[in-house]
Structure 1
């Protein structure tokens, strides 16, 4: 079984994924948590050069304590990227390279566990790549479905349960210390909401009590489990 969590940084994905894994383990079901956020294994050198040329700040420089000039450099970098990705051919090329890279990561990180009969709990999934490309391109949420159609060329396991932890940009920003600018989240929240609507994700209010969220998640997962944990061991 594959269970996925999606949402912006600060929505509580990793926390709830860890809780679910612990609960499955306690119930006797073999479970593993993986991060499928999309590692730039192939494109990282291109990204590094691009960031250096465009004057992007280093990740370690970003955060709530980042000085205004660092935030301005980040926003200028993002503006430059958006101007580049307005070229449809470039956006499409980068999207397919990134999706192939991400799909390979999922196949390597997820398929072996599924083949061994484990429950795989995935923090993020293939569609995060599409959201990132939409942000880099400055596309509005209503144009996301056109990008999502590209994922059909990259078959990955379909989640049996797929959760979207919905939270406002302001609440997510309050929770995170490594995000320099509220706009980072404001660009992403509408895109994730569009994604959730397109694929029918189970939407949960991430601002609710964490224990309540955990119980709601368990109520969705438990009916899918074999009646006896020994059936999957």
Structure 2
């Protein structure tokens, strides 16, 4: 349950759909599958190698929250502006995107679609927090292995929800219509920007030991 709020598959689907406008059904499924796969890998690797990464780069979780919050703010700000892809779609209607458009989307599959939009620093910080609360190897190896297994299962379930919601994002936007879709897209982009600020401020408050919120 702690992992669901920072992931929020429904909100992710609305944001991702803005990037997938004009793609064919096959291309859309391929992109969504790659996004889901990336999120699953990032989540599981963060759990398994979290301690090692933090020690290797001498990083603290508040620093990750601050940097990730800035990235999310950037993604939300870009969503508030009329992108080149949206302008082309308005001119050409609902035509299927050509290979060049799909190539541009491919370059965005990991960043920003997989990270930080679908699975961002908020989720990684929650995974790190859950990992820190697990029993040590000296206490109970069976309990430790079971705890890791439960968290991995939760990550897999959330990634499955991301896959389903992102595939249904286009149908939802079609029901809303063009004007409704624009309103929802801009609203979600604004909320994404606010989430980025929230995560960044949380990181700042922990770094400087402030009671901001």
Normalized per residue, which structure has more helix? 2
- TM score, norm. by length of structure 1: 0.26
Q: Compare the two structures and name the one with the higher strand fraction.
A: 1
RCO higher in structure (CA 8 A, sep ≥6): 2
